[in-house]
Homo-oligomer: A and B are copies of this chain.
C-alpha cells in the first residue's frame, strides 16, 4: 500500500485525508456557516475554505462535492448511540429517547439541522445520504433492542419493529417540537416509553373492542 506523509509526519494510506486537523477545521467551518443560517444552496466550497483557513483543493481532495461534505458535517452532530448491554428493554429505550431529547435541547444542533434540512427538497441526495450515515445506524441499534425484547419475552413476539421505532422516535421529536413544555419535561423519555410499552408488551388475551 502506498503511503504519504501528512502535515503531522504520520504515514497514512494514499488517498486518505492528508491532515485530520484540516478535516476537523473544514467540518467545523461547514457547521459554523450552516449555524449562521446559510442554507446548503448558498453554501460554497470557497466560503468553507475561507472559514477553515485551507485551500479549496484541500477540501476537494477529501470531498468531491458540497453535499457529501455537509452530510459528513451533520453526521458529527448525530453520533451513534451506545447502549449499555444487559439492561432491560425499557432502560435501553429510555436511554435512546434521552439522547434524542438532549440533542433537541441543544440550540446549535437544532439550528444547523433545521437549516440543512430546509434545503433537503432541493438536495434529495443529501437527505438520503444523511439517512444512511446517521439515521439508519441508530435505527439498527434500537431495532436490535426491540428484537432482543421479543426474544426474551419482554415484548410481544409479533411486534411491528418498524412501527414501534416510528412511534417511539416520532413521539419524542413531536413532543419536543410541538408540546407546550416538551423541552422542560425531564421525564418525557420515561412517559413515552411507558405509554408505548403498554402496547409492546405481551398481553394474555384481547377483549373485544
Is A178 a contact of B135 with CB atoms below 8 Å? yes
A185-198 near B? 1/0 per residue, CB < 8 Å: 00000011001111
Chain copies in the assembled complex: 2
Any B CB within 8 A of the CB of A85: no
Chain A stretch 160-178: residues in CB contact (< 8 A) with chain B? 160, 162-164, 166-167, 169-175, 178
15 contacting pairs across A/B (C-beta < 8 A): A37-B39, A37-B41, A37-B122, A90-B209, A114-B117, A114-B118, A160-B195, A163-B171, A166-B171, A169-B170, A173-B173, A173-B174, A174-B174, A198-B199, A203-B207
Q: In the complex the two chains form, what is the Cα distance from A174 to B121 in whole Å?
A: 16
Name the distance in Å between A164's Cβ and chain B's nearest Cβ.
7
Interface SS majority for chain A: helix
Which residues of B sit under 8 angstroms from A122, Cβ to Cβ?
Answer: 37
Which residues of B sit under 8 angstroms from A206, Cβ to Cβ?
Answer: 201, 203
* Cβ contact of A201, chosen from B118, B139, B200, B209, cutoff 8 A: B209
